[in-house]
């Protein structure tokens, strides 16, 4: 079997290909309106490419190779975005947004170094969102409130989808369980981070795992995070229990963004102080950029969860290894 591929026994999609395409559009229409209302967000247009010199492309874990190229008409190096974590904060500043106001956008990216499996593709599609906050809102409670609003929007969308497609019988728990990465480590000592996520998601259904990026008491981080967008003490991943795959299922990564103090601290920990040469980092350090909260919500991930699909290729068109495509076909998984 292809590395990382899971084919559930007896799997068969509840929807036909045509129904699936209609349902994907329906989910996207319903959810983005619910998200916009819940968090007071305007939809804006976002870039697919940025210049290398801008320093605003997302570095993810700091090791992934970007898709880059030169431009014929002028001597500039450009990159396909990996996410819009930094661009959104710059946009809020440029567009003059105030505390309580925010933006969301359709983000398409290519992550060439991602391992492809049931839930990962080299093509990434997200609703990226960002909102201006005040300094006294840089708290765990404020972060939790934003998480609850997103979960409510997801559950609202699920109810609408289930009414339109009654054959979909799955449920989504509306009340998220909050836990820090250190608490999770102590709860399940000796387990890997992925195993800990699976155990806590199976127990609680909807979970927000907080404080991702810094080293835990065992000397290792729960997961990697770039040091220059999320505050590692005020961020997290939103995870659901996926009944089809019988596994934990991340739908969103989000957090309150770095201020001048957490930026300096995290860059030092990561040995990445050289990034302070970029305008983006300088504008955080001198207070020019607004304080914000934001994140990304996987469009294909959400469609996969709500439509009870076994593979992300059932809700998006991408490129897959030949052996994976063959095994999917043999296992009743039809890739778009």
Confidence of residue 57 (pLDDT cuts 50, 70, 90): confident
Confidence of residue 282 (pLDDT cuts 50, 70, 90): very high
Confidence of residue 264 (pLDDT cuts 50, 70, 90): very high
User: What is the rounded distance in angstroms from the CA atom of residue 107 to the CA atom of residue 29?
Assistant: 15
- 127, 35 Cβ separation under 8 angstroms: yes
- 226, 61 Cβ separation under 8 angstroms: yes
128, 231, 250, 259: the catalytic one is 250
59, 197, 237, 314: the catalytic one is 237
Beta strands in 2-73, from DSSP E residues, in sequence order: 41-43, 49-51, 68-71
Q: Is 126 annotated as catalytic? A: yes
Average pLDDT, the chain: 92
137, 248, 253, 299: the catalytic one is 253
- In this structure, the dihedral spanned by the alpha carbons of residues 66, 70, 71 and 73, taken in order and rounded to 10 degrees, is 160
Average pLDDT of 80-102? 91
Q: Is 230 annotated as catalytic? A: no
Tell me what pLDDT residue 62 has. 63
32, 36, 58, 259: the catalytic one is 58
Q: Does residue 331 lie within any of the structural domains?
A: no
Tell me what pLDDT residue 1 has. 52
Q: Does residue 96 lie within any of the structural domains?
A: yes
Q: Does residue 214 lie within any of the structural domains?
A: yes
The owner of tokens 């819009």 is 84
Q: Can you state the percent helix, strand and coil of the chain, rounding each to 5? A: 40, 25, 40
User: What is the rounded distance in angstroms from the CA atom of residue 228 to the CA atom of residue 280?
Assistant: 10
DSSP H/E element including 164 = helix 140-164
Tell me what pLDDT residue 135 has. 97
Tell me what pLDDT residue 3 has. 66
The owner of tokens 């990226």 is 128
The owner of tokens 């890739």 is 335
Tell me which of 74 and 305 has the higher pLDDT. 305
* Helix, strand, or coil (residue 235): strand
32, 82, 111, 233: the catalytic one is 111
User: What is the rounded distance in angstroms from the CA atom of residue 234 to the CA atom of residue 157?
Assistant: 27
Tell me what pLDDT residue 72 has. 78
pLDDT tens, 122-143? 889 999 999 999 999 999 999 9
For the chain, what's the residue count? 336
Q: Is 237 annotated as catalytic? A: yes
**CATH classification of the domain holding 290:** 3.30.930.10
pLDDT > 90 fraction of the chain, expressed in percent and rounded: 70
pTM of the model: 0.91
Q: Is 275 annotated as catalytic? A: no
Beta strands in the chain, from DSSP E residues, in sequence order: 41-43, 49-51, 68-71, 74-80, 102-110, 123-132, 177-180, 206-210, 230-242, 247-257, 292-298
User: What is the rounded distance in angstroms from the CA atom of residue 88 to the CA atom of residue 130?
Assistant: 6
Average pLDDT of 13-35? 95
pLDDT > 70 fraction of the chain, expressed in percent and rounded: 98
Tell me what pLDDT residue 143 has. 97
Average pLDDT of 78-83? 83
Q: Does residue 322 lie within any of the structural domains?
A: no
Q: Does residue 123 lie within any of the structural domains?
A: yes
Q: Is 101 annotated as catalytic? A: no
On the question of pLDDT at 25 being above 80, the answer is yes
Average pLDDT of 232-244? 96
Q: Does residue 335 lie within any of the structural domains?
A: no
Domain that residue 175 falls in = 17-314
User: What is the total count of domains within the chain?
Assistant: 1
Q: Does residue 332 lie within any of the structural domains?
A: no
Q: Is 174 annotated as catalytic? A: no
Average pLDDT of 317-322? 89
36, 126, 262, 316: the catalytic one is 126
On the question of pLDDT at 56 being above 80, the answer is no
On the question of pLDDT at 2 being above 70, the answer is no
User: What is the rounded distance in angstroms from the CA atom of residue 54 to the CA atom of residue 277?
Assistant: 10
pLDDT tens, 184-232? 999 999 999 999 999 999 999 999 999 999 999 999 999 988 899 899 9
Q: Which residues pair with 125 in a beta bridge?
A: 108
Confidence of residue 330 (pLDDT cuts 50, 70, 90): confident
Q: Does residue 8 lie within any of the structural domains?
A: no
């Amino acid at each position: 079997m292809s590395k990382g591929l899971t084919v559930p026994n007896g799997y068969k999609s509840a929807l036909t290909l045509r129904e699936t395409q209609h349902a994907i559009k329906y989910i996207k229409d319903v959810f983005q309106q619910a998200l916009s209302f819940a968090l007071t967000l305007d939809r804006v247009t976002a870039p697919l490419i940025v210049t290398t010199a801008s320093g605003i492309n997302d570095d993810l874990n700091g090791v992934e190779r970007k898709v880059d190229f030169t431009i014929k008409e002028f001597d500039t190096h450009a990159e396909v975005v990996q996410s819009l974590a930094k661009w959104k904060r710059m946009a809020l500043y440029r567009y003059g947004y105030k505390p309580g106001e925010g933006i969301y956008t359709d983000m398409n990216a290519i992550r060439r170094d991602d391992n492809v499996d049931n839930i990962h593709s080299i093509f990434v599609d997200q609703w990226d969102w960002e909102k201006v906050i005040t300094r006294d809102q840089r708290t765990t409670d404020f972060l939790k409130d934003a998480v609850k609003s997103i979960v409510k929007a997801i559950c609202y969308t699920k109810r609408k989808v289930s009414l339109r497609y009654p054959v979909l019988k799955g449920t989504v728990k509306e009340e998220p369980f909050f836990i820090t990465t250190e608490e999770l480590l102590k709860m399940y000592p000796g387990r890997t981070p992925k195993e800990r996520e699976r155990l806590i998601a199976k127990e609680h259904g909807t979970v927000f795992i907080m404080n991702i990026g810094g080293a835990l008491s065992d000397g290792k981080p729960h997961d990697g995070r770039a040091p220059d967008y999320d505050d590692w003490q005020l961020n997290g991943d939103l995870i659901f229990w996926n009944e089809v795959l019988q596994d934990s299922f991340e739908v969103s990564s989000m957090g309150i963004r770095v201020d001048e103090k957490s930026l300096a601290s995290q860059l030092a920990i990561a040995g990445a102080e050289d990034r302070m040469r970029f305008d983006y980092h300088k504008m955080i350090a001198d207070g020019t950029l607004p304080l914000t909260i934001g994140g990304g919500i996987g469009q294909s991930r959400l469609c996969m969860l709500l439509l009870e699909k076994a593979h992300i290729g059932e809700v998006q068109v991408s490129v897959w290894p030949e052996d994976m495509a063959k095994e999917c076909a043999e296992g009743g998984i039809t890739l778009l």
